[in-house]
Amino acid sequence: MNIVHLISLTDSYDAIMGTLDLSKHLIRSGHRSIIASVRDLTSLAYDTSGVVLEALVPSGRGRWQFHRHYHAIRKIIKQNNIEIIHAHSPVMSWIALFAARAEGVPFVTTCHDFYTRNFFHESLVLGKCVIVHHEAMGWYLAEKFRVSYQSLRFIRQSIDLDTFEFRSPDTRSKTDFVIALTLPLRPSAGYETFLTGMVKATRIIPNMKILIADNLPQSQYQYKKDLVLFIRGLGLSRYFDFFNASRLDLSIAARCNIVVVPCSKEAACTRPLLEAFAYGTPVIA
């Protein structure tokens, strides 16, 4: 079987790393797997050997970008005799839908977030089937998007343990107590509530360091600025720092004492938690 996976600029850490793992699994099973991505996946701190990577060059915004990617994907389908198209984000799902219909091949999606129902997000459930990584997402799609249970495919989120090096607690820093927050930097992540609680914690653990994943696109940079002002107002400036998550290397969990997930609403980003467990880092959610 020949399958192409489509990755956009907005795809989550779960989507990108999960697609790489899935591609390796398909290759070991005798299939041919190609990842067509707008992002540069060659710069990842991750082994991509054996995976065929096709670059989809960003070409502006709006209709022109849609048009360019549509023709590029159709070309990949023809050249590689693709039998299944697999998309993850709303934009790529729309492009994949039209390309699949034009070339007469099946189209499937994986849903990685609790999207609100609107026309833009509708593309995620228009394929032959929808893959979900946990049952809560399946129930959500059935209730909000009216997806039939027959169209849902449940593939449990997992990681390759050989990729991660377990570290026991006694190998971690004896002088610093490091806490990492690895979820996307957005208002629904509950960072304000968590940081307010940390004001008390710093009185008990004065050598604390709080690390927050910085993976915001430029269009949402204002939230980061507001969060920095909030942290300054709490008097926590000397305790916290951002770490660059744009290259999708979350091995920082291996150097932390705790990973915290302070979400105040449903969140679908589960892979960072599995990776923290694999490194031997406790998770508080």
Per-residue burial over 193-224, b = 16 or more CB atoms within 10 Å of its CB, e = otherwise: ebbeebeebbeeeeebbbbbbebbeeeeeeee
DSSP string for 41-93:
GGGSSS--TT-EEEE-----STHHHHHHHHHHHHHHHHHHT--EEEE-SHHHH
pTM exceeds cut of 0.75: yes
Tens digits of per-residue pLDDT, 140-196? 999 999 999 999 999 888 888 888 888 887 777 777 899 998 877 777 677 888 899
- In this prediction, what percent of the chain has a pLDDT beyond 70? 94
pLDDT score, position 110: 95
For range 39-68, the mean pLDDT = 76
Q: Is residue 63 predicted with pLDDT exceeding 70?
A: no
Selection from 106, 69, 76, 59 nearest residue 91 by Cα: 69
pLDDT score, position 50: 81
Return the amino acid letter for 137: M
pLDDT score, position 157: 85
User: Degrees (nearest 5) of the Cα angle 194, 197, 200?
Assistant: 150
pLDDT band with cut points at 50, 70 and 90 for residue 75: very high
DSSP label at 123? G
- Can you say how many angstroms the Cα of residue 259 is from the centroid of all Cα atoms in its chain? 17
Selection from 53, 68, 62, 125 nearest residue 99 by Cα: 68
The structure tokens listed for 127 are 């394929």
- The 84-87 sheet, strands edge to edge: 52-55, 32-37, 2-7, 84-87, 107-110, 130-132, 152-154
**Residue 203: strand, helix, or coil:** helix
pLDDT score, position 170: 79
Q: Is 128 exposed, middle or buried (0-12, 13-18, 19+ CB in 10 A)?
A: middle
